[in-house]
Copies of this chain bind each other. A is one copy, B any other.
Amino acid sequence: MTRRGLLIILSSPSGAGKSTLARALRKWDETLRFSVSATTRPPRAGEVDGTDYFFVPVEDFQRQVADGDMLEHARVFENYYGSPKAPVAEAIDAGRDVLFDIDWQGAQQISNSALQDHVLSIFILPPSIPELHRRLVSRGQDDAEVIEKRMQKSWDEISHWDGYDYVLVNDDLATTEDRLKTIITAERLRASQQPALVDHVRKLQTEFEDRA
């Protein structure tokens, strides 16, 4: 029997270190697929279509939702975000784990979907709000009004921390990275993730019955 891949959901307020951690995980395990979200918002400077996001017109996005082609979707501010279903299904059916960088709304939808037995959800909390604010400001891209809007959105995200399988406080990036690797390694060892165990026990049974 082939193992079905895990859907590994990473959620956090922006500024808690999630993107850095996601990059570290992909470097650690190159078999890990990354679910590229579709969005209706325009690309920011440096963002590449198909790598950072699939940038799609609103009509296309809404048609995909209507056709059931999105695993989850949510509206954030004026824009839509969603996870296209086809690449995820293909990866997990081939036994590969898929990493999702999505917010609590998407996490809830996937955790309540038909794939819920294969979901591993992890929430990253910042050590403090001043630190979160500092990280948002230090990006230097946004004015005070935009930063306040992001702070509000961050708090909305933090307030949904409960209900994730694992919640890590990102005090120290290296420690959090280690913990994520430990969690993923352990979850892959769960009996429910190892259908080949059935074959092994069948082999033991044959050996037991055939013993001299």
Chain A contact residues, CB within 8 Å of chain B = 123, 125-126, 128-130, 133, 151, 155, 158-159, 161-162, 164-169, 179, 182-183, 185-187, 189-191, 194, 197, 200-201, 203-205, 207-208, 211
Contact = CB atoms under 8 A, between A and B. Distances in A.
A133 B189 contact: no
Contact of A208 (B123, B155, B190): B155
A10 B39 CA distance: 47
A129 to B, nearest CB: 4
A161 B202 CA distance: 12
Contacts of A158: 201, 204, 208
A202 to B, nearest CB: 11
Contacts of A130: 207, 211
B201 A125 contact: yes
Max chain B C-beta neighbours (<10 A), residue from A123, A128, A129: A129
Q: How many of these chains are in the complex?
A: 2
> DSSP majority for the A interface?
helix
Contacts of A183: 186, 189
A166 B190 contact: yes
B182 A186 contact: yes
A185 B161 CA distance: 21
A210 B117 CA distance: 40
A162 to B, nearest CB: 8
A76 B99 CA distance: 46
Contacts of A179: 189
A125 B202 CA distance: 12
Contact of A186 (B162, B185, B204): B185
A118 B151 CA distance: 36
Sorted nearest first, the 9 A-B pairs with minimum C-beta distance are A186-B186, A129-B207, A167-B191, A183-B186, A129-B208, A182-B186, A155-B208, A182-B185, A167-B197
